[in-house]
Structure 1
Amino acid sequence: MSVTRTVDQEELDRLLLRVGDHDREAFAELYRRSSPRLYGVCLRMLTDPREAEEVLQEAYVSIWQRGATFERGRAGAMTWMVSLVRNKAIDRLRQHANVQMDHDFAIDSIADDEPTPVAKVESHQSYRRLEECLQQLDVQQRRSIREAFFSGNTYHELAHRAQVPLGTMKSWIRRGLLQLRTCLET
């Protein structure tokens, strides 16, 4: 299933490409357009507003420094930035192993800036399709994928919690992701 890219997504791509050339105005505009959503990702993963702000700041430093590595054909700007922010948040969680996270949250609970009406429709359709595809997975696969990608748990942590060998957990997630891709592409 192919979702038409919105004007906003394409503009973010253009801005990030300009950031790769160290264009300060583009960076300021990119920050203005993307920071609410990226902060929401940080806050959802870290739960502490101060930690989320620090991770967000670190992420934007990395975006400035690594903007030239963004490849438009591989992923959209927001996907690239969310991945970077998510990895920074996971690093922070690993630094503070005592931080307890809420593992029972829905995909749509991640904060986002107000999208355009067209983006809302596309987002709703994409979310609905993702949920439909997730529901086709085995319960353990679905739970493992959500915890790995939205809570930042490692394969080791997930295997320990599910009381299964590490290889089994990796297989569950790998097969689940392949099933999701196949489902989303049809």
Structure 2
Amino acid sequence: MYVTRGGKPAAGARRLAGVRRDRRTPDRLDEERLVRLVGKGDRAAFEELYRRTAPWLAVRLRRRCADEQIVAEVMQETYLAVWRAADAFAGSAVGGTAVGWLWTIAARRLVDAFRRRAHHAEPPPAAAPRDTAPGAEDEALAARVDGDVGDALRRLAPELRQVLQATVLDGMTVRETSVLLGLPEGTVKTRARRARIAMRKALT
């Protein structure tokens, strides 16, 4: 996927003008460095970031929504937002990994898509029940928290972990989490409370 600085898809890959400051090729850089290069208009870095992250992001979105059209729209909106806002990425902040930042953008776009559909048509079809084993993207997100906290997060029951990730790691409100996960707000609150209790026990 290729876009121009104005946010519109480009006809194809173009050679990057000028010389990149980082002499390493994009495939040898970590995601945080790639995002910072994208913020400087580096199309090669953007293409590499997309290549690395799009597969797991699509899988994660499909676990939230079975409507392929919505998933495709959210993917497009997410990477356009990444291109436009990469220069504001604060990777030095707590939990500020590129993977987590990208998922936060995608999750909020998915919530917006659900809300738009709710006003005009039937709610999007729910995704099929997911395997209880954590997927690669869950491991990537859990890695945003290191050490004992990260270990405790990974040991949480999947239904508790996903609520804690949304409300704490992604900074979503109870209402946004409710829309994202397709749960009543009361259930979100209950699971968030249970998750915090479980985390406290695991860390004492």
- TM superposition score category, shorter chain reference: 0.5 to 0.7
Q: Contact 1:43–1:49 (CA<8 Å) still a contact in 2?
A: yes
Residue 88 in structure 1 maps to residue 112 in structure 2? no
Secondary structure of the 2:63 match is helix
Aligned to 1:27: 46
* 1:145 aligned residue (163, 171, 190): 163
For residues 98-117 of structure 1, the aligned pairs below 5 Å read: 98-102=123-127, 104-106=129-131, 108=133
Output the amino acid matched with 1:95. R
The 1:21/1:37 distance shift into structure 2, 3 A limit, reads: same
Distance of 1:72 and 1:105 partners within structure 2 = 30
Aligned-partner Cα distance in 1 for 2:44–2:202: 36
Give a deviation string over 1:19-49, Cα, whole Å, max 9, x none.
Answer: 1112111111111111111111222222122
Aligned equivalents of 2:43, 2:31: Cα separation in 1: 14
- Larger relative contact order (Cα-Cα within 8 Å, sequence gap ≥ 6): 1
Identity among equivalent positions (%) equals 24
> Aligned AA for 2:100?
T
Q: Distance in 2 between matches of 1:69 and 1:36?
A: 24
Query: Number of matched residues?
Result: 153
What 5-or-longer segments of structure 1 have no aligned partner?
1-7, 116-125, 136-140, 163-168
Shift of 1:146: 7.3
Find the counterpart in structure 2 of residue 158 from structure 1.
184
Could you tell me which amino acid in structure 2 is paired with residue 45 of structure 1?
R
Structure 2 residue runs of 5 or longer lacking an equivalent are 1-26, 141-148, 168-175
Deviations 1:41-97 (A, max 9, x none): 222222122321121011000000111121112211011101111111111112223
Report the Cα distance in structure 2 between the residues aligned to 1:105 and 1:146, rounded to whole angstroms.
17
Contact 1:16 1:30 (8 Å CA) reproduced: yes
Match of 1:65 among 84, 92, 106: 84
Determine the C-alpha separation between the residues in 1 that align with 2:153 and 2:60: 18
- Aligned equivalents of 1:85, 1:100: Cα separation in 2: 18
**Aligned residue number for residue 133 of structure 1:** 156
Moved over 3 A (4+): 106-112, 126-131, 141-144, 146-149, 154-157, 172-186
Pick the structure with more helix per residue: 1
Q: Distance in 1 between matches of 2:130 and 2:98?
A: 25
